Amino acid sequence: MSSVASKPTPLLDAFRGTGSAIREPKQSATTGFGFDSFLTLAACLIPIATCWYLSTPCATNSSWTPCVQPLFDFHSIEFTHPDLIAAVVVVVVFTRALLKGFHPMPRIVTVPFIVFFAATLLSALFAMDKIHALAALVQELEFMALAWAFAALGRAKSILRVLNFILGLFVVESLIATGQFALSGSYPTGTFVVHQQYAFYTSFAAAIAFGLLSGETNHRRRVLYILTLSILVIGSLLGQERAPWLSFLVAGVAIVWYAGRERKRLFSWFGVTVLTGILLVVTVPQLREMTISRLEEAQTDTYAQNSLLSRLLVWGIAFKLFTEHPILGIGPKGFPTVVPHYASSEDLMGIEATDPHNIWLGMAAEQGIVGLVTYIVFVISMIRLATVQLRTSLSGLPRSLYLACLGYFVFWLVMSYSVFFKGSGHIHFMLLGMMVGLHHQLSLERPTAPSISLTRGGR
């Protein structure tokens, strides 16, 4: 008879590499209707929690300033509304994994993230601001744990429900912003504190909507997605932010490129969408005046009134910090602490501290060439994860989901927006995890589907 100590457990098997979750490739990524429903509900709650967090201003001398409040904080480590949902999800999934077995994660995601985390840790050891560096490490661990947890959600229909819910949420935001614009004519924000955040979220939702539309074959659902895309595009235009709109355009081109036989038809649809947006700007007087004022802003010669000059100033500071600390940078999350020593609040358009507004320069300044290179590898791995199945004869709902995720990740790439911001980072890694789960599920249903590895282009 075997002793009690020799009996295997899911956790022990996972570490030994001999458990059923690792040894048996036929194990499904999905985990039952009840647990699947829990993950689907949690995935829908995360964008709601993000909007709640980003719509909570802080009061200063009876006036409202564009900042947000966490639930609580410890020095520079903040615990926000999305963190609460993430913590519950990770605890529940990990507890279940101890009993049922751990679901796998592909090397193309785990290896680049571990390498990037190691680079962040190395930079944090020599950081100027150790508290902010510690906060960065905790946040990266949280996001990777969140991606792993949502990788258990591999059912295509459940992922579609989550994406549709995200679209519905930001359609509501767009409608609220449209009402604000019609009543006041000022920059609309939806329920967000500042219009930049609103424009960012509605624009990446538009990219997801176009991806789902590109793979949809049902006529009624296609009409519904066209209506959804139209509302989101209008909402994006009302945001009056150049970078999100440009990122949406590039994401749309990427979706069309991977659309295969539907490429010509989708290119026509996308062209009509863009032209409609231009006509709205030209024909709606208030929107035209707002757009002209944004263009005239670029002609002013003071940092306090010209956002482009202010950005150039911040980028120059980031480059200067990189040249002074080229290998490991000044430390993760250290830029907002250092930038006030190089520029005044007036130079930064009234903001005391700000991020570089460019993840590549920001990563170079904060984590040096080591962090920048490992981050680029991590981003490339996400793009490859989104495209590897689209190179096959993928069809139906999975194809729509992959096109939507491709549009989303390309949007992030062009936006130069950090994946490690609170709120947006939670949505980002949630979608990354669900795409990992979908890939694993497809690999079980289609044994001939390409497996993802770090060599030979993912085959």
Phi, psi of 335 (to 5 degrees): -60, -45
| 257-281 confidence digits (pLDDT tens) | 887 777 777 788 788 888 888 887 7
Q: What pLDDT was estimated at residue 69?
A: 75
Q: What pLDDT was estimated at residue 129?
A: 84
What gap in Å lies between CA 250 and CA 407, rounded to an integer?
A: 9
Query: How much is the average pLDDT of 434-439?
Result: 89
At 173, the pLDDT band (50, 70, 90 cuts) reads very high
Q: What pLDDT was estimated at residue 455?
A: 37
Task: With a cut of 60, say whether residue 30 has pLDDT above it.
Answer: no
Residue in the block written with tokens 């509900």: 41
At 298, the pLDDT band (50, 70, 90 cuts) reads low
Q: What pLDDT was estimated at residue 330?
A: 92
At 124, the pLDDT band (50, 70, 90 cuts) reads very high
How much is the mean pLDDT over the chain?
80
Q: What pLDDT was estimated at residue 408?
A: 93
Could you tell me what percent of the chain has a pLDDT over 70?
80
Query: How much is the average pLDDT of 95-105?
Result: 88
Q: What pLDDT was estimated at residue 308?
A: 66
Task: With a cut of 90, say whether residue 116 has pLDDT above it.
Answer: yes
Task: With a cut of 60, say whether residue 440 has pLDDT above it.
Answer: yes
Q: What pLDDT was estimated at residue 18?
A: 37
| 323-374 confidence digits (pLDDT tens) | 999 999 999 988 878 877 776 555 555 454 567 778 899 999 999 999 999 9
Q: What pLDDT was estimated at residue 371?
A: 94
Task: With a cut of 50, say whether residue 24 has pLDDT above it.
Answer: no
Query: How much is the average pLDDT of 127-143?
Result: 89
Q: At 387, which amino acid appears?
A: T
- Residues paired with 59 in a beta bridge: 64
Q: What pLDDT was estimated at residue 32?
A: 72
| 230-244 confidence digits (pLDDT tens) | 999 988 888 888 888
- Residues paired with 79 in a beta bridge: 72
Task: With a cut of 70, say whether residue 9 has pLDDT above it.
Answer: no
What gap in Å lies between CA 441 and CA 433, rounded to an integer?
A: 12
Q: Which token pair is 95?
A: 């507890």
- Residues paired with 64 in a beta bridge: 59
Q: What pLDDT was estimated at residue 348?
A: 56
Q: What pLDDT was estimated at residue 176?
A: 94
- Burial (CB < 10 A; 0-12, 13-18, 19+), residue 455, is exposed
At 157, the pLDDT band (50, 70, 90 cuts) reads very high
The closest of 139, 48, 42, 128 to 92, measured between CA atoms, is 42
Check residues 8 and 248 and name the one with the higher pLDDT: 248
Q: What pLDDT was estimated at residue 294?
A: 63
Q: Which token pair is 343?
A: 């520029």
Q: What pLDDT was estimated at residue 119?
A: 94
Query: How much is the average pLDDT of 170-197?
Result: 88
- pTM for the model stands at 0.83
Q: Which token pair is 289?
A: 């005046």
At 165, the pLDDT band (50, 70, 90 cuts) reads very high
Query: How much is the average pLDDT of 428-440?
Result: 91
